[in-house]
Amino acid sequence: MKRLLRTLPLALLLASTFAAATDVSLAGGALHVPVPDNWVPIMQSQGDVTETQVFQVPGSSAADATLARVSITLQQVPNLNGFQQFSGNLRSHASGLKEYVAGKVTSPTENIYTAKEGTVKLDYYERYFYSGGYAIQLRCIRPTGDAKWNASFDKGCAEVAAHMPS
């Protein structure tokens, strides 16, 4: 009984982490990933080869709420070379954004940078994954805002990245 009482708080903590997430399915169920419940789906596109799901992330201000978003894009590719082409094309597109400035990455599967969208400077964090014949990009975009909100946004992105297949 004592052991049960000691493990119950941990079990409840783990359950609460997953209870606050919505499971998103892409590519006909080939990819399932939990996202925070407060992320609002604002766009989904499906094609024969590429699929994208975009979420608006409620912000600390009205400006943040309209600009902060996360997208998951996946494309069916034949092999690792296809994955490298997918990520290379998206990185090339990013470097062409207005006032693009590369940031410091800690992994070859990351792309971190700032750029302007209209008149607003945004922070971009991209991670690339390859699994089951799919190239996947997780892209998190947020304006610079208050530190507490940024930490919450970044935590949500990190949690989604942790659930991506590798």
The mean-pLDDT minimum among 18-27, 68-77, 96-105, 138-147 falls in: 18-27
DSSP, residue by residue, 121-148: EEEEEEEEEEETTEEEEEEEEEE---HH
Return the amino acid letter for 63: A
Q: HSE (CB half, 13 Å, CA atoms) of 11?
A: 6
Tokens representing residue 3 in the block:
């052991």
Its pTM stands at: 0.84
Residue of 98, 96, 95, 101 whose CA lies nearest to 114: 101
pLDDT digits (tens, 9 = 90+) for 64-119: 666 899 999 999 999 999 999 999 999 999 999 999 999 999 999 999 999 998 88
The Cβ-side half-sphere exposure at 30, using a 13 Å CA radius, reads 16
Cα dihedral value 100, 53, 24, 31, nearest 10: -80
Return d(Cα 75, Cα 57) in angstroms, integer: 24
Dihedral of CA atoms 134, 158, 54, 51 in degrees, nearest 10, equals 0
For 120-132, what is each residue's pLDDT tens digit? 889 999 999 999 9
Q: What does the pLDDT read at residue 21?
A: 77
pLDDT value of position 62: 60
Task: Determine contact, residues 59/38, Cβ cutoff 8 Å.
Answer: no
Under 8 Å between Cβ of 152 and 20? no
For the chain, list the domains and their CATH numbers.
Answer: 23-162 (3.40.1000.10)
> What count of other Cβ atoms lies within 10 Å of the Cβ of residue 162?
10
Residue among 122, 3, 127 nearest 72 (CA): 127
